[in-house]
Structure 1
Amino acid sequence: MFEFILAATARSYFFLRRFMPTAIVIDAINTRRGLKWGVPAMLLAVPYALAAVYSRGQIEAGSPGWLNLLEILCLWNTLKFLMIGPISLLKLMVVRAREAVARRRMTRTLLADDVEHVDEPILVSRHG
């Protein structure tokens, strides 16, 4: 029974990670090319917050109770997008620091091997 529950949980998790729009956006932001889009993506929290406020108003006006689930989902997505901005900035600082260290190491290695910097690219002919 435990294996069935674990398998069902894993399958639903991977389904949601693959097909839900917010998960796709968050995964795209967590790539090296996407880290710079974390702060602008925080603006996506605004429509989710407005949808949560609207659904709360509808619930208080007498709409069905299942709108509570929609409100919780909207609030969760709001929090995800509010948190991705600072997190992506921290990750971007770490990545850029690592890239700077790698550049310095490469420069030191090249200087230690007496390789001079070539200003013009070397063109190689494909036809021999």
Structure 2
Amino acid sequence: MIRLLWTASAEVRYFLRRYMPSNIVLDLIRTRKGLKWGIPAMLLAGPYLAIAFWCTTLIESGGPGWLHLVVLLCIWNALKMLAIGPVSLSLLVRTRVRERHARMHINQETRDEPQLPELTRSGQ
């Protein structure tokens, strides 16, 4: 039974990571080229919260109960978008520090290599 639940949860997680728009955006932001888009991606929390507010208004005026799931989903996605800003900023700083360290290490190695004298053809 536990094995079945484990497999089902893994499949659901795979489906959500692969096909849900917010997860696709988060995966793109976590790449090296996408780290700079973490702070602007925080603005996507606004529309999610607006949809949650709209659905809450509909529920209070007698709308269907399944809209509670939409509200929960929108709030969860808004929280994810708000969290990716500081996370991507810290990842970007860490990546730039590592890249700078690697460049300095490469420059130091090339500086320490002995220079071979150039061969000239003046003797021929």
TM-score (norm 2): 0.90
Matched, 1:73 2:73: yes
- Residue deviations 1:84-106, cap 9 Å, x none? 11110000000000001001100
Cα deviation per residue 1:80-127 (whole Å; 9 max; x = unaligned)? 001111110000000000001001100000000146xxxxxxxxxxxx
Q: How far apart are residue 65 of structure 1 and its match?
A: 1.1
Larger gyration radius, structure 1 or structure 2:
2
Structure 1 residue aligned with 2:27: 27
The one-character-per-residue Cα deviations of 1:57-90 (angstroms, maximum 9, x if unpaired) are: 1111111111111001000000000111111000
TM alignment of 1:36-115, pairs within 5 A: 36-114=36-114
Residue 54 (structure 1) shift:
0.4
- 2:96 counterpart letter in structure 1: R
SS in 2 for 1:65: coil
Q: Give the fraction of aligned pairs with identical amino acids, expressed as a percent.
A: 48
Alignment-derived partner of residue 6 in structure 2: 6
Structure 1 runs (4+) greater than 3 angstroms displaced? none
Runs of 5+ unmatched residues, structure 2: 116-124
CA drift at 1:2: 1.2
Q: Secondary structure of the equivalent of 1:32?
A: coil
Measure, in 2, the Cα distance between the counterparts of 1:54 and 1:80: 19
How far did 1:56 drift?
0.6
In 1, Cα distance between equivalents of 2:33 and 2:114: 34
Whole-Å Cα distance in 2 between the matches of residues 114 and 61 of structure 1? 80
| Residue-by-residue CA offset, 1:10-55 (whole Å, 9 max, x unaligned) | 1111111011111000000000000000011111111101000000
The code of the aligned residue for 1:75 comes to I
> What is the identity, as a one-letter code, of the residue corresponding to 1:38?
G
Partner of 2:17: 17
Residue identity in the other structure for 1:18: R
